[in-house]
Amino acid sequence: MTEIPEHLLKRSQARKQELSGDAAAASPATSGAAAPAVAARAVPAQPAAAPAPKAALPDPAYIASAKTRKKIPFWAMATLSLLPMWAFLYLLALQPKDEVVEGPMAIGAGVFGSCAGCHGAAGQGGAGRVLHEGEVLKTFPHIEDMLNFVYVGSQSFVAAEIPVYGNPDREGGAHAPLSYNGNPMPMQGQSAGGALTEYEILGVVCHVRYEIAGADPASEQWLEEYERWCSPESEIFAALESGATSFDSLDADFSMLMPEPPRAVGTKARPSAG
C-alpha cells in the first residue's frame, strides 16, 4: 500500500465509483450540476497528486503538432512587416478620391435644390426662366457674367440702371431685368442679402451650365472654361472655398481671367462683356 502512488489510487477510486453507477461523480463533464461535488471530494487527494511525474505523459497530438509545426517562413515576414505601410499608402491613395466628390459640380447639384422650385428640377422653367437645352448659355456665353447675375439678382441691375443682363446680342433677344412675367431673380450672394457662399454659387452655376444646360466640358468651346472654373481641380473653386479669395478680388488673384475685355465677377451688378 505504501508503494502505490496517490494519483493511481485516486484513479482506481474514480473508476470504482463509475462502475458502481455514480457516473456523474466520476466524470464531471457529463453534468454541470455534479461538478462542485466532485471537486469537493477530490480536494483532499490533490496535494499528493500535484507532484506526479508529468513528463512521463506524451503530449496529445494537437500539442505535438503545434510544437513541430513550422512558424511563419522568414520570407513571408518581410511581406507581413510591410502590411502597415501598405495600409497607410492605401489610405493616402483614398484622399484625392474624396476631394473629387467635393468639387464644384458635386456641391452645385445639392445647391440647385434651392433653385428648382422656380426653375424646375430639370431647368425647364416655371416661376423662373428656362435654363435647360442651352438657353442659359445663350444669355451668358461667359461664366463670369452668370456668376455676377446669380450673386446680385435682377433688382440690383434695376437699381444700377443696367438695361440688360448677359449677352446684349443674345440670340432671340437680350434679357432685360424683370422681363420674365415681371418677376425678379432673387439675389443669392451673402453680401447682397442672399444665403449662398461664393463657392456655392460657383458650384451651382457650374451645375447649371454643364449638367442642366448641357455644355460639353470636353468640347473645344467649353473645355477651357470648365477646367478653370468647374473641374474638380479648379484653383478658383479651391481658393473661394478656403476663403483665400472672393468674387471681388478674383481678377487680381487669377491672371488667367481674360483681361480683354475685363470680365470680373464682382458682388455688384455689372454690365456684361458680351
Compute the least distance from the CB of residue 148 to ligand HEC, in Å.
10
Per DSSP (E only), the strands in 14-139 are none
Taking the least distance from each CB to ligand HEC, the nearer of 28 and 134 is 134
Tell me which residue of 197, 199, 221 sits closest to 210, measured CA to CA.
221
Compute the least distance from the CB of residue 268 to ligand HEC, in Å.
16
Q: CA–CA separation, 196 vs 1, rounded Å?
A: 99
Distance between start and end Cα atoms, the chain? 119
Taking the least distance from each CB to ligand HEC, the nearer of 25 and 128 is 128
Tell me which residue of 236, 226, 161 sits closest to 199, measured CA to CA.
236
Taking the least distance from each CB to ligand HEC, the nearer of 14 and 270 is 270
Compute the least distance from the CB of residue 135 to ligand HEC, in Å.
6
Q: CA–CA separation, 13 vs 17, rounded Å?
A: 6
Residues counted in the chain:
274
Place of cell 502590411: 83
Compute the least distance from the CB of residue 258 to ligand HEC, in Å.
21
Q: Are 205 and 143 in contact (CB under 8 A)?
A: yes
Taking the least distance from each CB to ligand HEC, the nearer of 150 and 215 is 150
| Residue facing ligand HEC at closest CB distance | 115
Taking the least distance from each CB to ligand HEC, the nearer of 28 and 184 is 184
Place of cell 440688360: 164
Contact footprint for ligand HEC (CB under 6 A) = 114-115, 117-119, 127-129, 135-136, 139, 146, 150, 154, 175, 177-180, 183-186, 188, 204, 208
Compute the least distance from the CB of residue 272 to ligand HEC, in Å.
11
- How many C-beta atoms surround the C-beta of residue 38 within 10 A? 18
